[in-house]
Copies of this chain bind each other. A is one copy, B any other.
Amino acid sequence: MPQFMDVHDGFVGVTEDQLAAAHQADLDVEAAEGVHFEKAWLDPKSGKVFCLSTGPSKEAVMRVHEKAGHPTHEVYELAVEV
């Protein structure tokens, strides 16, 4: 199953609980798209969030984020990992 990293901006000052809630919103709707969000990391100073996921396509990952209320266009397929 392909792996993806996606990037969000605008999460300045977001707390762990708030990030966990956003991540849960993904988990709640991901199954229908065959996507699984494995991990999310946040830098609350810059507001950057990185999400690591697996799924059938970039578009499926984007649809889950959209349904969960935090869309992003920055989704990269991680064809190589070391």
Residues in chain A within 8 A of chain B (CB atoms): 3, 5, 7, 14-16, 19-20, 23, 39-46, 48, 50, 76-82
Q: Nearest-CB distance from A30 to chain B (Å)?
A: 14
Cβ of A40: which chain B residues have Cβ within 8 Å of it?
81-82
Q: Top 7 A-B pairs ranked by shortest CB distance?
A: A43-B76, A42-B80, A41-B78, A23-B82, A20-B82, A16-B80, A48-B76
Q: Please state the number of chain copies in the assembly.
A: 2
One of B3, B23, B41, B44 near A5 (C-beta < 8 A): B41
Known: A16-B80, A41-B80, A42-B81. 20 other contacts (CB 8 A): A3-B41, A5-B41, A5-B43, A5-B50, A7-B7, A15-B80, A16-B82, A19-B82, A39-B82, A40-B81, A40-B82, A41-B78, A42-B79, A42-B82, A45-B77, A46-B76, A48-B76, A50-B50, A50-B76, A50-B78
